Structure 1
Amino acid sequence: MSSLPRGRYLDRATPPHISTLIALTGIGALSMNVFLPSLPAMAEYFNADYALMQLSVSLYLAVNAVLQLFIGPISDRFGRRPVLLISLALFSLATLGCILAPTAVSFLVFRMGQAVIVSGLVLGRAVVRDMVPQAEAASMIGYVTMGMAVVPMIGPAFGGVLDQAFGWQANFILLLMAGLAVLVLTWADLGETARSTTASFRDQVREYPELFASRRFWGYCLSATFASGAFFAFIGGAPFVGTDVFGLNSVQVGFAVGAPALGYFTGNFISGRYSVRKGVNWMITVGAMISTLGMIIPFVLALAGISTALSFFGSVTLVGLGNGMLMPNANAGMLSVRPHLAGSASGIGGAIMIFGGACLSAYAGWLLGPGSSAMPLIVIMLISSALALVAILYTMYRERQVAPA
């Protein structure tokens, strides 16, 4: 990390410390999954159907995707710092509302308000791109998003302990404390990194066609979307496959679902170490190849009549490894196609990734049913990973075509 900008910790006049950016991106992941073990207790507390309480996930994702379309251009116009501080303050207020909500409906309203924390993910990447060139951005994003890989591994387990010991509200008290802590940290350590601009929000939106017209932007965006889609499909289908196909108990399924997160963490570390040396496109290509190989293995074994929990979940670890190498570099590529629209590119790209991943997750859940094998999920993940490879190969071809110009 020697090539990354250095600064004094808690000094807004210097670049933000990497721990601040990790906190900004990690709190969103924590908000997403720390309370999941509490859903049954929450349904009982509010005297509501479990299906209604599950909307706290899908509605959160829906608002999350929509907000990403606006947070980027707003921050391009008004700056990263004020948007982040306001978002963290609103997140803290919404979290307090979740704790005090008297009904399930009011809880869901405040839960949707929590989605504003997505600004930490969107603008954390944009801040990196503001400070350093493309290759260094990929390296730094790799380190930053390692925090997002750790949280999904430990968040639900920690949330389950809090729920059992203190009740479901304890998870949201934890989120409130985390939100306030990150708010103070951001205020103290993160100065403005965006270039000053006099363009209005409408002017920012008018520049969307410039971004959409870039085939390289779509290449990087689709590569990231298909790669993350394989992971979302896994999340949608893995509990069924683990329980109904392989006969694992809930504890075993919990560890198995964390398999790709372990690989993702390792892939992020590799990105942080080698993206500058190898280049963005090389890292994306190798990552996509590893992810595709990770699904070819269980596919071939299943065709040969060999399908076990170890062969499936062990292979999915390779998907996580490949995605950990691919995602930081694909994000850096998206943000670098039009550097003056880095915030917009981050928001649009993130919204597309979430929407595409949610669709694949729902499709995986729809295909899997009583009597089903793991093959439908394997095929979806294999195709999605392969399409990520196709997307980056097209992007590299496009770069060679425009290079002489």
Structure 2
Amino acid sequence: MMVSEPAAPPRPITLILLSALAVLPVNMILPSLPNIAATFQADFALVNLSVAGFAIITAVIEAIGGAISDRFGRRPVVLTSLSIFVAASIGCALAPNIGTFLLFRAMQACIGPCYSVALVIIKETSDEREAASKFGYLAMGWALAPMVGPLFGGSLDELFGWRSSFVVFAILGAATFALSARELRRTASPLSRSHRNYLASYGLLLSSGRFWAYTLCMASSMGVLYVFLGGAPLVVGDALGGSSAKLGLYMGLVPTGFILGSYLAGRYASKTSLSATLVFARLLTCVGLSVGLVLSSFGITHVLVFFGPCVFIGIGNGLTMPAANSGALSVRPDLVGTAAGLAAAMRIGGGALIASIAGLFLADSIYALFVMMLISAALALLAALYAALLDRRQPTD
């Protein structure tokens, strides 16, 4: 049965809330981990599963949720995800022991598909270049959430205790549920109402060179960021006198760069091709990191000499993600939800894999860190060039 699109798409604020809420739970509780461990008298490594395990489960659920949204529609997936998220947040707030807490924390990861669905809704109501532009503005809100999350969560912890963060999650989830229930009406693509096997849908996407090019570009770009996040405290911590506040301030320059890159994507992506945006973004990151590598090779180790070039990680990723997402979602118009979820899972998993491999070669050296980041950035550039080549040869699959 053919289903028509709603006359008016959801307001941008609703989509921004969906995407922000999907990433906010990842790190908002970071400042509270010691207090959670103390409350449950649990080993800190076990409590840390509430962060690392959350990210892994989110990647898996995003891949599944995207495919389900192609079959049953965007609205049911969003409302179900939000309902589980609200219930799980309340469960975390009331948890009497660490086992119960980790169970409900895992259930919170059901919020993950909301980010992919927000991208899908934009894609279904915009052409390719307009979608990349809107993705840029959406990414600005998506980037702000992890920036302000730890500060907000830490403040709540100091004032009301760590359980208050999960009460806030429940309130935000309920508010977003109300907005989504009102604005997300019949947003499923009429082309997607098929009974194609889920594994067959994944196979169709994974058989596309364009899909691989775009997702590998995103995964390698995220790999650069993950390598930076894991290595920066190691190589510059002593230079900052062990000050966590200073380290957090300097590391915040990278997400600030991401916001700038996302703004530029929102402003100019509709005026240029996706492949040109991707190649420019990846070249920008490679040039910035190359400057840092050269300076560090001369023994210049000032903290700004390290963080200055690293700002281009954020700017490059801010430009990359909207364009690459738009490209990945355009590969199969009948599988746009599946593509969004699978691309998100591959982006997270691929980035984490790159960071894990890089961690084996990292030494307590700024030069070594720049080398690892530049290798990942170069892989992203190669993927962007491959995507540009495929787009030139065959604009559509």
TM-score normalised by length of structure 1: 0.93
Instruction: Look up the SS of the partner of 2:377 in the other structure.
Output: helix
One-letter amino acid of the counterpart of residue 199, structure 1: S
Instruction: Look up the SS of the partner of 2:211 in the other structure.
Output: helix
Question: Per-residue CA shift, 1:101-154, capped at 9, x if unaligned?
Answer: 111121111111111111111111111111111111101111111111111221
CA distance in 2: counterparts of 1:272 and 1:114, whole angstroms: 30
CA distance in 1: counterparts of 2:213 and 2:119, whole angstroms: 18
Choose the corresponding residue for 1:306, options 292, 300, 306: 300
CA distance in 2: counterparts of 1:403 and 1:88, whole angstroms: 36
In the other structure, the counterpart of 1:390 is 382
Q: Tell which deviates more after alignment, 239-248 or 327-336.
A: 239-248
Question: Per-residue CA shift, 1:370-403, capped at 9, x if unaligned?
Answer: xx11223211211111111111111212233336
One-letter amino acid of the counterpart of residue 159, structure 1: G
Q: Quick check: 1:376 aligned with 2:392? A: no
CA distance in 2: counterparts of 1:295 and 1:341, whole angstroms: 36
Question: Is the contact made by 1:152 and 1:258 (CA closer than 8 Å) also made in structure 2?
Answer: no
Instruction: Look up the SS of the partner of 2:48 in the other structure.
Output: helix
In the other structure, the counterpart of 1:58 is 52
Question: Is the contact made by 1:240 and 1:368 (CA closer than 8 Å) also made in structure 2?
Answer: no
Question: Is the contact made by 1:98 and 1:172 (CA closer than 8 Å) also made in structure 2?
Answer: yes
Question: Is the contact made by 1:236 and 1:364 (CA closer than 8 Å) also made in structure 2?
Answer: no
In the other structure, the counterpart of 1:325 is 319
In the other structure, the counterpart of 1:401 is 393
Cα distance, 1:310–1:261 mapped onto 2, change above 3 Å: same
Q: Tell which deviates more after alignment, 120-129 or 234-243.
A: 234-243
In the other structure, the counterpart of 1:21 is 15
CA distance in 1: counterparts of 2:153 and 2:357, whole angstroms: 28
Question: Is the contact made by 1:245 and 1:374 (CA closer than 8 Å) also made in structure 2?
Answer: no
Cα distance, 1:364–1:237 mapped onto 2, change above 3 Å: farther
Instruction: Look up the SS of the partner of 1:330 in the other structure.
Output: helix
Question: Is the contact made by 1:219 and 1:395 (CA closer than 8 Å) also made in structure 2?
Answer: yes
After superposition, where does 1:26-65 map in structure 2 within 5 Å?
26-65=20-59
In the other structure, the counterpart of 2:3 is none
Question: Is the contact made by 1:65 and 1:351 (CA closer than 8 Å) also made in structure 2?
Answer: yes
CA distance in 1: counterparts of 2:87 and 2:288, whole angstroms: 42
In the other structure, the counterpart of 2:99 is 105
Q: Name the % identity.
A: 40
How many Å apart are 1:368 and its aligned residue? 4.3
Question: Per-residue CA shift, 1:277-324, capped at 9, x if unaligned?
Answer: 012111111111111122111111111111221111121111101110
Cα distance, 1:224–1:238 mapped onto 2, change above 3 Å: same
Question: Per-residue CA shift, 1:338-392, capped at 9, x if unaligned?
Answer: 11111111111111111111223334444446xx112232112111111111111
Q: Structure 2 unaligned runs (5+)?
A: 1-5
How many Å apart are 1:27 and its aligned residue? 0.7
Q: Quick check: 1:199 aligned with 2:191? A: no
How many positions carry a matched residue from both structures? 391
RMSD, aligned α-carbons: 1.7
Q: Quick check: 1:273 aligned with 2:267? A: yes
CA distance in 1: counterparts of 2:396 and 2:265, whole angstroms: 29
CA distance in 1: counterparts of 2:242 and 2:249, whole angstroms: 10
Q: Tell which deviates more after alignment, 15-24 or 352-361.
A: 352-361
Cα distance, 1:368–1:48 mapped onto 2, change above 3 Å: farther
How many Å apart are 1:13 and its aligned residue? 5.0
How many Å apart are 1:207 and its aligned residue? 2.5
In the other structure, the counterpart of 2:207 is 213
CA distance in 1: counterparts of 2:66 and 2:39, whole angstroms: 37
CA distance in 2: counterparts of 1:314 and 1:170, whole angstroms: 36
How many Å apart are 1:229 and its aligned residue? 1.0
CA distance in 1: counterparts of 2:359 and 2:294, whole angstroms: 22
Question: Is the contact made by 2:84 and 2:107 (CA closer than 8 Å) also made in structure 1?
Answer: yes
In the other structure, the counterpart of 1:345 is 339
Q: Structure 1 unaligned runs (5+)?
A: 1-11
Instruction: Look up the SS of the partner of 2:187 in the other structure.
Output: coil
Q: Tell which deviates more after alignment, 84-93 or 170-179.
A: 170-179
Q: Quick check: 1:262 aligned with 2:261? A: no
TM-score normalised by length of structure 2: 0.94
Question: Is the contact made by 1:245 and 1:373 (CA closer than 8 Å) also made in structure 2?
Answer: no
Q: Tell which deviates more after alignment, 12-21 or 156-165.
A: 12-21
Question: Is the contact made by 1:237 and 1:361 (CA closer than 8 Å) also made in structure 2?
Answer: no
CA distance in 2: counterparts of 1:363 and 1:155, whole angstroms: 28
Q: Quick check: 1:173 aligned with 2:157? A: no
Cα distance, 1:199–1:175 mapped onto 2, change above 3 Å: same
One-letter amino acid of the counterpart of residue 89, structure 2: T
In the other structure, the counterpart of 2:108 is 114
